[in-house]
Structure 1
Amino acid sequence: MRATLRWAHSDLRTHRGEALFLVLATAGVVVSLLLAAALFGYATNPWQRVFSQTRGAHVWIHTGTSTDLGKLRAVAGVEGVAGPYATAVTTLGARGTRATVELRATAALPSVGRPLLTAGHWLDPAAPDGVVLESRLARALLAGPGDTLALPDGGGTLTVAGIADTAEARYRPGEQPGLVWALPAAVHRPTGQIVGLRLTDPAETDYAVQRAVTVLGSGAIGEVSTWQQARAEAQGDNRLLGQVLGLFGLGALVAAGFAVHGAIATRIRGHLRDISVLKAVGFTPSQVVRVFLSQHIAYALAGAVAAVALTDALGSRIPGRLGDAVRMWRVLPGHTLTQLAVPAGAVLFIAATTGLAAWRAGRVPPVPGTRPAPRAGRAPRAVRGGTGGRLAAPLRRALEINVPAPLVLGLHTAFSRPARSLATVARLALPLLLIVVAMSAWTTLDRFHSSPERIGVPAALTVHTHSGLGDQEVRALLEHDPQVAAAFPGVEVAALVPGQTATIALRGLGTRHDPYPYALAQGRAPRQSDEAVAGQGLLDLLDVRVGDWVRMTVGDQPQILHIVGRSIEPENAGRVISTSLDTLRENDPRLAPTLYQVRLVPGADPHTVAGRLTAAAHDRLDVHAAANPADELSPLRGVVAGLILVLALIGLVEVLTAIGGTVREGERDLLAWKAVGLSPRQITAVTMTAMGCTALAAFTAAAALGAPLAHWLIDAQGRSSGIGAGIAQDPPVWLLLGSGAATMLGAAALAALPAARAARRRLADSLAAVA
């Protein structure tokens, strides 16, 4: 045991840098996996916790004011009912900010769908103007308990009594009204009512919706929302972050395992004499295996422990969603188990990948084999090309036309042993491939920010009308503004899908003479009557494809549309079907626009224009900047940058390993190269060229495989989220060329110092190396 420890200590002192890089690479990989686990837990458990604590309803149904909702209590499978509550949609303003809200008349704190107070108190009959705001709405209005909210058209004010969390769909500007609980006296002119159904079996949600539609009649139902939709909306962004971290963390783990495997294999080839000495002094094959295996397991264990400590100490201090996820993760069940399982799994994986190389070390004979003497008349080693055999015909021709010998010999050295060279290129290409995928993700996010029309957000402003403003008046206000380039009138209604199990968004945007600029990924834009485009989420929901006809119900009237294209739809999980406003008017001539999608001239500030339009309309328009889904993904930038650093560190370990192996094998050719007149500088250039060619081959393979892989992964995520495929972007050519050049030059530069030291060795040392 003492001899084993002494040898391990001596080896560590000799290769400190390589050991440090292995520890850091393992730490980076484990940190990525731990953060991924935290984000997965954060994505699922907060919503589930709120749903459980509030006894959330599995189904929420909006209807008109005259519908008798009491009949739903007798529907099979209904365990409890929330409401019915009278509702009114209006706008509230605070500190210059406006938001569309749904006032819900709630006389007492309900037992089903009960709001979870986080600040302030519940409604008090002694304060009839008091309201409780849903937490996301409160953040959007910058409102807290005691603040005053203004109703439109001088309708009075409301006072914030409290803030509450809910498991229902959260406030999204322009898409989902914010939820406000108020006493019945504060809801002066109800426009509808809502009821929530808590089911005995959540898996029977679709069946329960069908039964409710049958009992009430399809014409009575305005909108249906389910707990699955609310959960998916609450989890969406965090789940994507967790998936990205998990994917790259696992990829980095595989790359780190192969890097460690290559390091051990290269070390064994360079320490054959030392291993033979160990066996000669009494080490058994199993002891030799244990020496190498335990040494690298120790490196992996040190990195894993450092990662756990780093995550615990600094994880909660990360700004934004990652820090919140780590703080929440600490109090969730299963945190301790995950925190132990992730680093343990990483260490075991690295141990498994290094076991084969260590086993080969145990098979090294106690007496190194002697090399056969060269046959009489055989060409010197330098002329043949070194250890790898004869030069290939193109390389011999290159020497004949006076191509510098270091370049020719370096290229030959890089690929003289095809199997070993291919293994080195493959190990180095793996982290580089993941870096190319990360660059594609970064480029896709950049294009989303700079060109939102690529992801279905061609308009900079969304204008909602109220207070009886007519179409001509709104158009006149919009056209009068010098920074408004175009305005597309539209309407959005909730429609029941065939089978009446869920609602979708049916939109009529633009006219046939002035069509809306859809972001199409497949098919074409609607041009004729009854033609429409649909999002990926709707196609998946209805199990249809482009070219099919679909039937839906708006109120009690059917609407049949021909899907001629698939659009990129970032809203409503892609469950959107869009046609022209003219097509919807053919079914209902009285239909008037209720919203306008406004495009601005280049360089215009949306917030400035929105304020100007609101002032010009005397607060009779609800104007806000269109939400860019890419804004929700901004934390991915930091995640991608961190992952690129981890992967670059793993690639650096592989490059250093390859340099060490190339320098050791070059010692055999050192005397021959000096014998034919190569200077130490030229010999150094041979090794630098070999490493540069190896790195360039690895990056070329990574770029060739990484671009299609990135497209597949990003499009797969787009399909699963409902946005749809067709959003992936390739990195710019200049970025790929620059990265390839940096990889090649960096590998060559790293090889310069060890190659120069080897080239300046004394002849006696070189003779000992080849003896």
Structure 2
Amino acid sequence: MRATLRWAHSDLRTHRGEALFLVLATAGIVASLLLATALFGYATNPWQRVFTQARGAHVWIHTGPSAQPGKLTTLEGVESVAGPYPVASTTLASRGTRAFVELRGTSGQPSVGRPLISSGHWLDPATPDGVVLESRLARALLAGPGDTLTLPGTARKLTVLGTADSAEPRFRPGEQPGLVWALPSQVPDPDGRVTGLRLTDPEDTDYAVQRAVTVLGAGAVSEVSTWQQARAEAQGDNRLLGQVLGLFGLGALIAAGLAVHGAIGTRIRGHLRDISVLKAVGFTPGQVVRIFLLQHIAFALLGALAAAALTQALGSRIPGRLGDAVGVWQGLPGHTVALFAVPAGAVLFIAATTGLAAWRAGRVPPVPVPRPAAPLGGRLSGVARRALGLRLPPALVLGWHKAFTRRPRSLAAVARLALPLLLMVVAMSAWSTIDRVHNRPEQIGLPTALTVHADGGPTDRETRALLERDPQVATAYPGVEVAALVPGQTSTIALRGLGTRQDPYPYTLAEGRPASGRDEAVAGQGLLDLLDVRVGDWVRMTVGDQPQILHIVGRSIEPENAGRVISTSLDTLRENDTALGRTLYQLRLSPGADPQTVAGRLAAAGNGHLDVHAATNPADGLSALRGVVVGLIAVLALIGLIELLTAIGGAVREGERDLLALKAMGLSPRQITAITVTATGCTALAAVLVGTALGAPLAHWLIDAQGRASGIGAGVAEGPSPTLLLLFGTAAVLGATALAAVPASRAARRRLADTLSAVA
């Protein structure tokens, strides 16, 4: 054991930088995996906790005032029913902020879908104008218990008694109205009713919805929402961040394992004589293997423990969503298990790759085998001989020859170095895609910046004239959006009519063509997946009793409503259903206009009759991903440095036996140094080319696959610019050559006696 420790200590002193980089890389990998675990827990558990504590309804069905939802209590598979509750759609304003809400009349705390009070208290008959706001809506309105809300255009005022968490779909400006609970007396003129169904089998949701619609009649159902939709919306971007961190963490772990495997293999080739001496003095093959295995397990264990300790102690202090996720995750039941399991898994993986490489050391014979007389570089290839005949610099020719003459070993070195570079290209593509979404929203389905709803008062013509009078409003597209039942009546989708045939809405198409003819429409990826249809198919849906039959001629990029959107012109919808009139305007602003400034100006000009809000950019929820990408690139750079140090060390050691021959040929130490530097640069260049060639299409595929899974659809991926890739490749090659210059120069200036002893 004493001799083992002395050998390990000597080897550590020789490879300090490599050991440090391995510890740091392991720490970064384990931290990425722990943060991914935290984000997955943060994405799923809070909603699940609220749903369980509130005994959430699996289905919420909105019906007209004349429907008879009482029939739903007798449906097979329905455990209990919430409601029916009278509801009215209205707008609330507080401190200059407005929000479109659903006012729900509730007399007492319901047993199903019970709101969980987070501040204040529940409704009190002693305060008839009191309301309880859903938590996200309360944050949007900057309202809390004791505040007063107004209904624009009326003299009514409501008093906030409390805020509550709900497992129903949460407030999203312009997409999902906020939920407000009030006494039934505060909903004197309901425009519908809502009923919640809690099922005995949650997996039977689609069939339960279909039976409920059949019992009530399709014309009586205006909207259906399910617990799966609410859960997916609650998880939102947190799950995406977790997937990114997990994917890169696993990729980096594989790259680190391969780098360690290559480092040990190169070290064994460089110390064959020393290993033979160890065996000659009594070391068993198992002891030799344990020397390498325990040393690298110690490095990995040190990095894993450091990552776990830092994540546990400082993770909740990370600014933004990551810190919130870690704080919530630390209070979940599985936190302690994950805190030990993730680092242990990473250490075991590195130990497995280390063991495979160290096993070769145990097979080294105790008697040194004489080295072959042929030079390590092998015979010059025909290309190399012709290059020398053309009087190209010998150092460049011999360096290139040295880099690629041993094909299996050379290809392995290139592959190990190319993997972290490939992951860096994928990370840069993620950054470029976020920039595209943030800076060019018109390319990802957001050609307009503002949505305007009119709350009565001015006529359509007056509203449009008011909007177009603003100097920074370029175009105002009239439109309408309604909920429509899909074929099979299992869920509802968003049916939009925007623009006219004379002034069509500028949809962002990823496939097909614009909807220019009668009954033509474009659809989001989420709708295509939901209905299992493709571009070119016809689909039938119903709005109340009125059917809408549309021909899908294109796929649009739809960042809203999980892509479950079908869009056509306002003319087409009104031709099929004259009861559908324009209810909103989508505004495209002049270049450089500030949406918030324009929104405030239009709201003031509308005298309280216009509800104006800015479009929600998906990039707003992905701001935390930028910091994640920077951290991942740093971890991958450390892994690349490990592989570069391995390649440089192997090139220097294998070049020692050629040193005498090269000096006999008349090459100076500078030229000999250039051979090793060139060999390292050629290896790095090959890895850059492979990493870039494979990383760019892989990044597009991964980002588009995520787009399809989220319902937005493929076509949002944006790769790094050619200039950035060129700078990245140049920096990698120059960095590799600069890193190789010092050890190569030292080796080239060794004394002849040292060289003879090394190759003897």
TM over 0.5: yes
**Superposed, which structure 2 residues align to 1:53-452 within 5 Å?**
53-373=53-373, 387-452=376-441
SS of equivalent to 1:561: strand
In the alignment, is the contact (CA less than 8 A) between 2:285 and 2:363 conserved in 1? yes
CA distance in 1, matches of 2:731, 2:6: 40
Q: Using the TM superposition, give the Cα deviation of residue 281 of structure 1 relative to its aligned residue in structure 2, in angstroms.
A: 0.7
Instruction: Find the partner of 2:559 among 570, 588, 594.
Output: 570
- Secondary structure of the structure 2 residue equivalent to 1:566: strand
Q: Residues of 1 paired with 2:103 and 2:588: CA distance?
A: 31
SS at match of 1:517: coil
Q: Report the alpha carbon displacement of residue 84 of structure 1 after superposing the two structures with TM.
A: 1.1
Residue 373 to residue 686, structure 1, CA distance change in 2 (3 Å): closer
Answer yes or no: is the 8 Å Cα contact 1:236–1:721 preserved in 2.
Answer: no
1:590: how far off? 4.0
Q: Which moved more, 1:588-597 or 1:311-320?
A: 588-597
SS at match of 1:550: strand
1:248 & 1:124 partners in 2: Cα distance? Answer: 52
SS at match of 2:656: helix
Question: How far does the alpha carbon of each residue in 1:40-90 deviate from its partner, in whole angstroms, 9 at most, with x for none?
Answer: 111111111000000000000111122222111111111111111111111
Report the counterpart of residue 550 of structure 1 in structure 2. Answer: 539
1:372: Cα distance to partner? 4.5
Partner Cα separation in structure 2 for residue 595 and residue 467 of structure 1? 12
1:665 aligns with 2:671: no
SS at match of 1:681: helix
Q: Percent identity?
A: 78
* Cα displacement string for residues 487-532 of structure 1 (whole angstroms, at most 9, x for unaligned residues): 1110001110111110011100111111111111110011111111
Letter paired with 2:460: D
Q: Aligned AA for 1:362?
A: G
The code of the aligned residue for 1:667 comes to: E
The correspondence of residues 760-771 of structure 1 with structure 2, limited to 5 A, is 760-771=749-760
SS in structure 2 of the partner of residue 634 of structure 1: helix
Do residues 711 (structure 1) and 700 (structure 2) align?
yes
Which residue in the other structure is 1:26 paired with?
A: 26
Q: Which amino acid aligns with 1:609?
A: V
Cα distance change, pair 524–419 in 1 and its aligned pair in 2 (3 A): same
Secondary structure of the structure 1 residue equivalent to 2:658: helix
What's the CA shift string for 1:210-252, capped at 9, x where partnerless?
1111111110111000001100111121111111111111100
Moved more, 404-413 or 246-255: 404-413
Tell me if the contact between 1:47 and 1:231 (Cα under 8 Å) persists in the aligned partners.
yes
Quote the offset at 1:563 in angstroms: 0.6
In structure 2, the partner of 1:737 is: 726
Counterpart amino acid of residue 366 in structure 1 = P
CA deviation profile, 1:414-460 (whole Å, cap 9, x unmatched): 11211110000000001111111111111111111111011110001
Write the mapping of 1:442-591 to structure 2, written as runs, cut at 5 A: 442-591=431-580
Moved more, 155-164 or 525-534: 155-164
**Cα-Cα RMSD:** 1.1
Task: Specify the code of the residue in structure 1 equivalent to 2:489.
Answer: Q
Counterpart-to-counterpart distance in 1, 2:248 and 2:348: 18
Q: Which residue of 2 aligns with 1:380?
A: none
* Aligned twin of 1:701: 690
| CA shift digits 1:102-155 (9 cap, x unpaired) | 111111111110001111111111111211111111111111111121211133
CA shift digits 1:699-737 (9 cap, x unpaired): 100111111111111111111111111111121000111
SS at 1:512 equivalent? coil
Q: Which amino acid is 1:446 matched to?
A: D
Alignment equivalent of 1:726, drawn from 706, 715, 735: 715
CA distance in 2, matches of 1:744, 1:25: 21
- Residues 530-578 of structure 1 show CA distances to partners (whole Å, capped at 9, x for unaligned) of 1111111111111111111111111011111111111111111111110
Report the CA distance between 1:756 and its aligned residue.
Answer: 1.2
- Deviation, 1:318, is 0.8
* 1:275 Cα offset (Å): 0.5
Q: Distance in 2 between matches of 1:106 and 1:431?
A: 57
One-letter amino acid of the counterpart of residue 400, structure 2: L
Q: Distance in 1 between matches of 2:12 and 2:615?
A: 58
Q: Report Cα offsets for 1:634-657 as digits up to 9, x if no partner.
A: 111111111111111111111111
* Equivalent in the alignment of 2:746: 757
Between the aligned partners of 1:173 and 1:648, the Cα distance in structure 2 is: 41
TM value normalised by structure 2: 0.99
Q: Map Cα deviations across residues 729-758 of structure 1 (whole Å, 9 max, x no partner).
A: 121000111000000000000011111111
Whole-angstrom distance in 2 between the partners of 1:306 and 1:615: 56
> 1:591: how far off?
2.6
Letter in 2 for 1:137: L
Matched to 1:471, the amino acid is: D
CA distance 1:155–1:193, shift in 2 (3 Å): farther
CA–CA separation in structure 2 for the residues paired with 1:303 and 1:719: 36
User: Do the aligned partners of residues 411 and 109 (structure 1) sit closer, same or farther apart at CA in structure 2, a change above 3 Å counting?
Assistant: same
Moved more, 362-371 or 650-659: 362-371
Residues 588-638 of structure 1: per-residue CA shift (max 9 Å, x gap): 224321011110110001111111111111121111111111111111111
Counterpart in the other structure of 1:379:
none
Kept in 2: contact 1:471–1:592 (CA 8 A): no
- Whole-Å Cα distance in 1 between the matches of residues 155 and 262 of structure 2? 74
Distance in 1, Cα, partners of 2:2 & 2:151: 82
SS at 1:538's partner residue? helix
Give distance in 1, aligned partners of 2:145 and 2:356. Answer: 65
Deviations 1:352-387 (A, max 9, x none): 11222111101111122113446xxxxxxxxxxx52
- In structure 2, how many angstroms separate the alpha carbons of the residues matched to 1:371 and 1:662? 17
Moved more, 52-61 or 189-198: 189-198
3-state DSSP of counterpart to 2:714: coil
Q: Distance in 2 between matches of 1:135 and 1:371?
A: 75
Whether 1:10 and 2:10 are equivalent positions in the alignment is yes
- Confirm or deny: 8 A CA contact 1:133 1:180 kept in the other structure: yes
Distance in 1 between residues matched to 2:385 and 2:310, nearest whole Å: 55
Amino acid at match of 1:427: R
- Per-residue Cα deviation, 1:393-417 (whole angstroms, up to 9, x for no partner): 2322222332222111111111121
Number of paired residues? 760
Paired residue secondary structure (2:296): helix
- Kindly indicate whether the alpha-carbon contact (under 8 Å) linking 2:285 and 2:362 is maintained by their aligned counterparts in 1: yes
Is 1:615 equivalent to 2:604 in the alignment? yes
Check conservation: 2:153, 2:455, Cα contact below 8 A.
no
Contact 2:546 2:577 in 1 (8 A): no
Give the residue type in structure 2 aligned to 1:711: H
CA deviation map 1:243-281 (0-9, x unaligned): 111111110010000000011001111111211111111
Greater Cα shift, 67-76 or 183-192: 183-192
SS in 1 for 2:35: helix
Whole-Å separation in 1 of the counterparts to 2:577 and 2:32:
55
Structure 2: distance between partners of 1:337 and 1:616: 58
Q: What one-letter code is carried by the residue in structure 1 that aligns with 2:520?
A: E
Determine the structure 2 residue equivalent to 1:378. none
